[in-house]
Amino acid sequence: MFEQLIWYLKGYVRIRITGYSPERFLNACRYKNIYIWDLKRVCGSYEMNLTIDGFRRLKEIVRKTGTKVCIIRRSGLPFLLHRYRKRHILLSGFLICAGLILLAEHIAGDDTVHFGTLPVTVKRNAYGRQLGSFYIEDEMKEIGKIPMTFIRAPYIDDVYGEAEILAVVDGKVVAARQGSQLATAFHPELNDDTSVHAYFVEMIKGSKAQAV
């Protein structure tokens, strides 16, 4: 679960390898210490995931092994940022965990203020270290029961101003919004459920409609 978060933050691609000997390609990647995961054989070719850095190092391997590389899918935060670089969606501030800390006006026990655009007080690493990570299904306002994955997560200690509480787990606030800003203490991107993302998109649509 923690590895999935790292891959998401760094960005990765899923590729398909075809050619005379894709096995030589795989051996060369292993020799060059290019990390590959979720490897599958599909109709005589291979599909796999690798990091952006790993993909950039493939040119020489492809040339030497006589294989061809086709990108099937690009995933992760770097591609998301690039995709929406000219849109207002990024300014709207759907951020998770570290982003919750960046948006918060106050951080408990810390005088540091980053963006300070969300009127909440956040307690950093509130659930302890890595071993304190956990998964639960609980209610989120206007969505219903959703999966929530917490990894060294903060929680919201206080909500004030126009900020609205969206989710509470074991008496602790784990999601809040104000206007077009949405912040969660859990990682919705680590589960197959996309309801939080859909909720955020509808938020943005509503904010843009009001601005017109």
187 has catalytic annotation: yes
Catalytic residue among 47, 88, 97, 202: 97
Amino acid occupying residue 195 = S
156 contacts 121 by C-beta, under 8 angstroms: yes
Closest listed residue to residue 96, CA positions, set 27, 189, 28, 180: 189
Phi, psi at 10, each rounded to 5°: -80, -25
Catalytic residue among 29, 105, 106, 189: 189
Catalytic residue among 23, 139, 187, 202: 187
Sequence-distant (≥ 6) Cβ neighbours of residue 132 within 8 angstroms: 150, 152
**Interatomic CA distance for residues 185 and 202, integer angstroms:** 20
Active site residues: 97, 187, 189
